[in-house]
Amino acid sequence: MKHDHDHGEDSMNRKTLKQTLEETLELENQLLRTYAITAEAVHEDHELKIRLHNMAEGNAKRVNQIEYELDKL
């Protein structure tokens, strides 16, 4: 699917965009929870624990970005 700014027939409509962002938001939240819970369960490998926390933080940032975009729609 073409996503440029020509507003032609291939451009994504607002309803489809909102649905896509909502689905993505759900996935990002699920990943955030998974990484955070897993990080808390890891005790023997401190570096892995830190990497998992970093992944959760990355998902949190994406969640905020997606929520911002949804608010703008």
Domain segments of the chain as ranges: 24-72
Average pLDDT, the chain: 89
Q: What is the pLDDT of residue 72?
A: 94
* Alpha carbon of residue 24 to chain centroid: 6
Q: What is the pLDDT of residue 48?
A: 97
65-72 average pLDDT score: 97
66 vs 24: CA distance, rounded Å: 8
Q: pLDDT digit string (tens) for 46-68?
A: 999 999 999 999 999 999 999 99
d(CA 35, CA 50): 10
Give the list of residues 6+ apart from residue 6 with CB closer than 8 angstroms, or none. none
Question: Token match 């624990």: residue?
Answer: 49
